[in-house]
Structure 1
Amino acid sequence: MSKTIIVSNRLPVRIAKENDEYQLKVSEGGLATGLGSIYKQGDNVWIGWAGLDVDKGDEAEITNKLKQENLCPVYLDPEEIQNYYEGFSNETLWPIFHYMSTYAQYEQVYWDYYQSVNEKFKKVVLEIAEPGDIIWIHDYQLLLLPQMIREALPNTTIGFFQHIPFPSYELFRLIPWRAELLNGMLGSDLIGFHTYDDVRHFTSSATRVLPIQTTANVIHKDDRNITIDAFPMGIDAKKFNDLTHTEAVLQEKEVYNQIIGDTKIILSIDRLDYSKGIIQRLLAFDKVLSENPDYIEKISMHMIVVPSRDNIPQYRDLRDDIDKLVGNINSRYRTPSWHPIHYFYRSFPIETLSGLYSRADICLVTPMRDGMNLVSKEYIASKTDETGVLILSEMAGASKELIEAIIVNPNNLGEMYRAIVQALEMPEEEKISRMKNLRETVMKFDINHWVKIFMDQLAAVKNHEKSRRAKHVNSDLRHQFKEALNSSKKRVFFLDYDGTLVNFKGNPLEAKPDAELYQIIDDLNKDEKNHIVIISGRKYETLGEWFGHLPIDLIAEHGAWKKFDGGVWKETPNLSDKWKQTVRPMLESYSDRTAGSFIEEKRFSLAWHYRKVEKGLGDLRANELISNMRYLTREKGLQLLPGNKVVEIKNSEINKGKAALAYVYGKGFDFIMAMGDDHTDEDIFESLPEKAITIKVGSSVSEAKFYLRSVDETRALLQHISS
């Protein structure tokens, strides 16, 4: 029976040694809670770092304890932790992904360890994984792992979710190992982010760094389709909602009320990190007090900063700056009975946090950049009385969902100041209205909903991919095709040319028909029931020169020209080519800076060929061209066709599918076979009747029902059918 394997940097437990015995303490994070519904079931398992440096002699004891909880440890030594985790993960990826590029360190030793630790995770996964298992990998510490597993288990189902932002291309390109990281992630079937912005940034980076193609949010790579989508993460909303009614939390609130009285609380909770915008928050609060002296002794900020990596210079400096600024503000505004800021540099139990959430009048969540930010959702879930105001940074992923919050730019001190004043002065009715809507969102889209929609989407993506992977035409299928042919009375064969009947050449004019191809067509033509149609993107003059003397029908330039029953060439009426005046200069600019590329002009299309271009460079240029041309072609009613080493622009009224459908209409064909190799042939596969035998050449990912691996297999099938 298949199982689900969750893989993350850390296990959802903390391991501590007490009285010479290892104890497991369950983490209270949202991810651990949400995925608990998965990893605790049946044979499912969660793989991750055990969280401490363990003596070799103790590994067996810890492994057995964890196994009882459906957990499997990965053991890392101090050097691996220092270079893979503290180094590459947190000193290279973290600052780049949070738009703090000046803090990034590009050490080769960090990268070497990052690769080796991802390999270590892979080995643990492969010891457990079996055919049919689902593997869900989490976060930036394991970006290489999906492809590593894919290489070992090509058909397995792999999902990946990133919990921090994905930067724009201009930031991501700074990483020396950017291509390796992208290739690692693209080993997945489904890649999830918190926001659509992250989806766009990832897709843009992938297409500009790698020789791949995209359609909407689907990336095509190595005969596979990878879906990129947004899944905003929720929290265990019920848990935070219910906590507010527990005795422990009610006592916490009572203590706060006795100490604080009617003072309005502005709450700030963060881990120590330069991405959280803590300094900017303090400056905004300082401005509130300096410009509104009436608020003195009536409001106070409760700031909790959870210690994090303060052995690193920039974190230590940030902590010192916070200390100084808090001290400065307190010294200038405090009175004998009142402190403006209550600052705590430590963590608190969840009951204490719940009491603070419940009591706080305002929650200030203003990171400079954040993947989601769950503090904002925890605050909302804790406001069971539907009061309170959330001030939220537009740079946090949560801002895309929590639109009833006061949304601010954390870089704009004046806007932050005005938001705090607005929250303090907001009428009670408005507070309740906003909070009610926020709570509906948070309670509905909770952590369990997030897990469900990701897993459902992963299953749907994999099923769709399987359905698209057309069956390879083996001997049994060849026999079935021959039987269907023999029992039919009127047949048509739609045959693409380049990549289907002949292999590609560096110079397209060199890809002429050979004697074997002419013989195949001649053998098919011997049966008067057969109608042969060569349907190609080639110029009509070229097809006429090569096949005009044969008793077959020709459709050239994707349907712009037709030659039937030995007659003359006829063009599709009412087509214009005036658009070429605008498009051609753009194509010429790409040819000028891409050695080996050239432009082919047809009556109603332009094609930019890059078969002779250095491997990889041509694909990158093609992706750039497609990206830059997309809006122009849409505006002018044109269609962009990425093909095999070619990008073609043509009138959108023309496509092979329309031409093929028009050809068969009303003619009573009871046997239809269509064969093609690239994107332009997908139109044929989609347009023809369900009974048609559609075959993709060179790829199994297609709308076609079947596939062949090569031109040689195509010819062999046609020879078998005609024999």
Structure 2
Amino acid sequence: MPHHRHLTPSPSHEEHETPNPSLTPPPMQLAALASDEPPPPPPEQSPRRIVVAHRLPLNATPDPGSPFGFAFSLSADAHALQLSHGLGLAHVVFVGTLPAEAARALRRSDELDRHLLGCFSCLPVFLPPRAHDEFYAGFCKHYLWPRLQYLLPQRAGGQRIPPLRAPGCTDPTRRRTGASPRASSTCALPGRRRARVRARLPLWLLPSFLRRGCPRCRVGFFLHSPFPSAEVFRSIPVREDLLRALLNADLVGFHTYDYARHFLSACSRLLGLAYTSRHGRVGINYHGRTVLIKILSVGVDMGLLRTAMASPEAAAKFREITEVEYKGRVLMVGVDDVDIFKGVRLKLLAMESLLETYPALRGRVVLVQIHNPTRCGGRDVERVRGETAKIQARINARFGGPGYQPVVVVDRAVPMAEKVAYYAAAECCVVSAVRDGLNRIPYFYTVCREEGPVDAKGAAGGQPRNSAIVLSEFVGCSPSLSGAIRVNPWNIEAMAEAMHGALTMNVAEKQARHVKHYTYLKLHDVIVWARSFAADLQLACKDRSTMRTIGMGIGPSYRVVAVDAAFKKLPPELVNLSYRAAAAAAAAGGGGRLILLDYDGTLEPTGAFDNAPSDAVIVILDELCSDPNNVVFIVSGRSKDDLERWLAPCANLGIAAEHGYFIRWSRDAPWETMASKQLAAAMEWKAAAKNVMRHYAEATDGSYIEAKETGMVWRYEDADPRLAPLQAKELLDHLATVLASEPVAVRSGYKIVEVIPQGVSKGVAAECIVSAMAARRGGAPGFVMCVGDDRSDEDMFGALASLCGGGKNGGASSSTTTTTALLAAAQVFACTVGNKPSMASYYLNDKEEVVDMLHGLAFSSPSSRLRAAAAPRRPADFDIKSLLRCE
């Protein structure tokens, strides 16, 4: 085949092919695009949308006279192009691969890029043939696609998937997803950071790669495939990587509520994420970002169908169908891909059952089954073709005759003008897919019956149009077509009865159902869908300007964490300076230093089998407590017996147990209670709380009850991640009702529901400790470090903010001190564990960094025994050089 000569890239560079970043789109067609620090665009320009799909919306016809060997044109029926009509065509750029024949023949060149970008707003991505086959034909179509359709491997060997690796050299992540070259092409486009809308299954990992190149870009992902139940999805070996990739988008869209529900369930079960619903919108909080979930079926391009129906070819084909080929017949139509999930075999079997059951229909009814061209071959495709041909031959042999074939299969590329003629002429449309996401055939049929040729209504004299649809209940458009006859395609007899009902339905009922469908389609066409999706994407990113983004992880685990602009990682140099300054002030009569630490999730992992602290933690805590300038407290919801046993080696360590109800200043000091004697005596509510919790513990495998002296806790860290949160929410309401008249507070925490006395919290405990320390030492502490990881610790952060004078804490000092603002002159470092929304001003990533920070503080004291250790622990972030920089 003739094609323009181009240099072929060497194999070592194939994975990294990207368009020339200097390519500049024509100013009248394309607005400024993505980069990090560009000049501002003209005020009249609107944000650019970049639509990334597997295939560009192009037709490529071999043409020896073309400089590239192919004549290119926009493909009017391409879904990506139709979507752009709702976004404003002048501001849309398409990124994807060329049509298959052109992709095999051409190689990347700047001239080709400029031509396609300038003439069609298309930027091609070139993948090596082997890489494309691995990611599209291999992984997407032959592995991931069947799983999304609920088809599990039927043999133990199955298809092996190599582990996903961080992108670098030759890795299966890029090869299987094709995401990296597309992300490079997208991020290389010149101009400002702008909104991006992308869709389609083969690019599932693309949001992660886009986040790496452009962390603040707007990314929308719409899945046109079904999303299976969590039980099926969890069988995919790379399940977590796929979910994390989708969560790197700002907006994730699905056709139906069921698909969205399955996605939310998978995120809960596999990643432990919860979702919230507010003002009718569902969102998942993922590392400080709210990922919105959108449910809206894609409509049709009414203008495209009207253009096709108005063509002379459509009118001629319609007359041929109604006046020649099928004159006097009742026509049913089906249009499907050659796919094992489209249910073509079931449709033909139902047709056979229909003719068996109703002999009067023989010779009158014809089913025309149109097969769309296959995008990816294989044994399954050939098997479907073989089964279809076999059943067709049997039906035609049994019920056909001279001039009559009850089943006609059109297995070739059918132009749009010919398809709309079949839609307009058919009395009934049959869709029998056993699982399908984006299937707009019933939409096309309805519009063509309404706006097709004059005689398409099946009645004369300008009467209202009508239509009848037999629709599988497993198709994505099924919920939106309330007038269709819904069937379970696996029930052959029921589908045959539905087909008979559609053929014999009275005209008035068919008209009423048709009007309902057509009205819906007019109000929900593809333009409305695109605008709605773009509006929700804008809403999902509305707080972007006030947030700061931080990239974390490598490879498929890469994610972007969004935090408040004032929220930052705890800086070692500032902590060290304040720590040393407070020691000098204490030597001159100041109040010293106070360190408040949560236990579970801060010093030791939450839910561990043995929560006793490690030897390293004990050594560090003991070293901090041995400094006379320090007061160190563990403030925890744990019982005093557990904390007393675990922390016994630390003689000078203070403990505030059960959220501060019990306080002890050192190992040899007596326990003090924060509450009054009357409150301590009023514990009759514990029996009622325990009875309620026992019921939920019995009904939730893996959960258990922890009884404390002052409270009751229901723990579910080992329970089913889908059932347990639902049970916890119900238990919370149940306890609040039962204990409404008792002096208690019912709270939820990290995988716990607890009941504690009113007026008891870590915040109150922190205030008591600060006040007592000021009284004992003759002044409030000049340095306060407070670290925690869950909701109960937010009470401490809030209390410290109040003691600072009402502002958000975080190292800022004030020149005035009042009785209520004991810490107004102190350096206060409130720090949460994990990068997440918090009342704290600082964060550390995990408990290891907390221990590193404490080790650094202990090591920085001139008299520290850790300095004399033979092999001192060297913290990751709070390294020795940073901590000793001021010495």
The TM-score range, normalised by the shorter chain, is 0.7 to 0.9
CA contact (8 A) 1:39 1:46 kept: no
Task: In structure 1, give the amino acid aligned to 2:482.
Answer: I
Following the alignment from structure 1 to structure 2, what is the Cα–Cα distance between the partners of residues 92 and 641? 41
Matched, 1:31 2:135: no
Letter in 2 for 1:46: F
Aligned residue for 1:606, secondary structure, equals: strand
Helix, strand or coil at the partner of 1:387: coil
Contact 1:686 1:703 in 2 (8 A): no
Aligned to 2:720: 625
1:196 aligns to 2:257 (yes or no): yes
Q: Residues 431 and 76 (structure 1 numbering): CA distance in 2 closer, same or farther, change over 3 Å?
A: same
1:8 aligns with 53
- Tell me by how many angstroms 1:64 deviates: 1.9
Match for residue 347 of structure 1 among 404, 413, 429: 413
Q: 1:515 to 1:223 in 2, by over 3 A?
A: farther
Partner of 1:388: 467
Cα displacement (A) at 1:430: 1.0
SS of 1:188's equivalent in the other structure is: coil
> Does the CA-based 8 Å contact 1:137-1:159 persist in structure 2?
yes
Structure 1 equivalent of residue 349 of structure 2: 283
Larger Rg: 2
2:596, 2:163 → 1: CA distance?
A: 50
Structure 1 pair 311–153 and aligned structure 2 pair: CA distance change class (3 A): closer
Within 1, Cα distance between the matches of 2:762 and 2:374?
Answer: 62
Question: Does residue 88 of the first structure (1) align with residue 194 of the second (2)?
Answer: no
Mark the CA change 1:537 to 1:438 in structure 2 (over 3 Å): closer, same or farther.
Answer: farther
Other-structure match for 2:97: 49
Shift of 1:699: 4.2
Greater fraction helix: 1
Paired residue for 2:487, among 408, 417, 431?
Answer: 408
Structure 1 residue 397 displacement after superposition? 0.8
Alignment partner, residue 261 of structure 1:
327
Q: Give how far 1:508 is off.
A: 5.4
Return closer, same or farther for 1:508/1:40 CA change in 2, 3 Å cut-off.
same
The correspondence for 1:606, drawn from 682, 693, 713, is 713
Counterpart pick for 1:106 among 149, 159, 162: 159
- Residue 433, structure 1, aligned to residue 539, structure 2: no
Does 2:836 align with 1:701?
yes
1:567 Cα deviation (Å)? 6.8
The corresponding residue for 1:78 is 129
- What is the CA deviation profile of residues 401-455 of structure 1, one whole-angstrom value per residue up to 9, with x for unaligned ones? 1122111111111110111111112111111111111112222122122222222
Superposed counterparts of 1:195-214, under 5 Å: 195-210=256-271, 212-214=272-274
Match of 1:175 among 231, 236, 259: 236
Counterpart of 2:273, as a letter, is Q
CA distance in 1, matches of 2:410, 2:643: 79
Query: Structure 2 matches for 1:556-567, cutoff 5 A?
Result: 556-557=658-659
Residues in 2 aligned to 1:566 and 1:519: alpha-carbon distance in whole angstroms: 33
Which digits, 9 at most, give the CA deviation of each residue in 1:108-167, with x for residues without a partner? 589865633322223223322776333333222112222223234333322222111122
Give the AA of the match of 1:6.
V
Which amino acid is 2:174 matched to? Q
Q: Deviations 1:198-254 (Å, cap 9, x if unpaired)?
A: 2222233334334x3223454444454433442322221343356545554334323
- Does the 8 Å contact 1:543/1:554 carry over to 2? no
User: Among 28, 37, 40, which residue is 2:89 paired with?
Assistant: 40
Q: Which residue of 2 aligns with 1:359?
A: 425
Matched, 1:124 2:182: no
Q: How does 1:150-189 map onto structure 2 within 5 Å?
A: 150-189=211-250
Equivalence for 1:292: 358
Structure 2 distance, partners of 1:199, 1:296, is 44
Residues 58 and 497 (structure 1), Cα distance of their counterparts in 2 relative to 1, 3 Å cut: closer
Q: Deviations over 1:146-190 (max 9, x none)?
A: 222323433332222211112223322333333333333332222
The alpha-carbon distance between structure 1 residues 357 and 659, as it changes in their structure 2 partners (threshold 3 A), is farther
The aligned residue for residue 557 of structure 2 is none
Q: Name whichever of 408-417 and 303-312 sits farther off.
A: 303-312
Amino acid at match of 2:493: G
Question: Match for residue 174 of structure 2?
Answer: 115
- Counterparts of 1:23 and 1:172, CA distance in 2: 42
Task: Give, as a single letter, the amino acid of the residue that structure 2 aligns with 1:133.
Answer: R
The corresponding residue for 1:59 is 109
Q: 1:469 is matched by which residue type in structure 2?
A: V
Deviation at 1:458, TM superposition (A): 2.1
More off after superposition, 116-125 vs 514-523: 514-523
The residue identity in structure 2 corresponding to 1:360 is A
Secondary structure of the equivalent of 1:135? strand
Residue of structure 2 in register with 1:490 after alignment: none
Q: Quick one: distance in 1 between partners of 2:211 and 2:303? A: 37
Q: Structure 2, unaligned stretches of length 5 or more?
A: 1-31, 35-47, 165-170, 277-281, 451-463, 548-561, 576-594, 664-671, 736-745, 768-784, 810-829, 858-887
Change (3 A) 1:504 1:298: same
- Correspondence for 2:695: 582
Q: Distance in 1 between matches of 2:273 and 2:505?
A: 50
Say if 1:238 and 1:381, in contact at 8 Å, map to a contact too. no
SS at match of 1:453: helix
Contact 1:45 1:72 in 2 (8 A): yes
Q: Specify the alignment match of 2:20 in structure 1.
A: none
**Do 2:267 and 2:273's aligned partners in 1 also have CA atoms closer than 8 Å?**
no
Does the CA-based 8 Å contact 2:832-2:838 persist in structure 1? Answer: no
Aligned CA distance change for structure 1 residues 699 and 518 (closer, same or farther; 3 Å): farther
What is the one-letter code of the residue matched to 2:131? E
Equivalent pair of 2:287/2:835 in contact (CA under 8 Å): no
Find the counterpart in structure 2 of residue 481 from structure 1.
none
Is the 1:83–1:114 contact (alpha carbons within 8 Å) kept by the matching residues of 2?
Answer: no
- Percent identity over the alignment is 22
**Alpha-carbon deviation of 1:608?**
4.2
Distance 1:375 1:165 in 2: 16
Pair 1:677 & 2:771 matched: no
Specify whether residues 679 and 426 from structure 1 end up closer, same or farther in structure 2 by C-alpha distance, changes over 3 A only. Answer: farther
Secondary structure of 1:15 counterpart: strand
- With the length of structure 2 as denominator, give the TM-score of the two structures: 0.64
Deviation for aligned residue 1:680: 4.5
The alignment covers a number of residue pairs equal to: 661
Equivalent residue number for residue 752 of structure 2: 648
* Alignment partner of 1:274 out of 340, 344, 353: 340
1:250/1:355 contact within 8 Å kept: yes
Secondary structure at 1:463 match in 2: coil
Deviations 1:534-573 (A, max 9, x none): 9863447789999xxx9x9989459999965887764688
Letter in 1 for 2:353: K
Distance change >3 Å, CA 642–CA 630, structure 1 → 2: same
- After superposition, the CA RMSD in angstroms is 4.6
SS of match in other structure, 1:383: helix
Secondary structure of 1:100's aligned partner: coil
- 1:331 is matched with which residue? 397
Partner of 2:275: 215
- Once the two structures are overlaid, the 10-residue window that deviates more, 360-369 or 507-516, is 507-516
Distance 1:472 1:187, change over 3 A: same
Q: Residue 696 and residue 276 in structure 1: after superposition, are their counterparts in 2 closer, same or farther (change >3 A)?
A: farther
Could you tell me whether the CA contact under 8 Å between 2:51 and 2:80 is conserved in 1? Answer: no
Contact 1:276 / 1:366 at 8 angstroms: preserved in 2?
yes
Residues 493-532 of structure 1: CA distance to partner in whole angstroms, max 9, x if unpaired?
xx985169974477656589879689999999xxxxxxxx
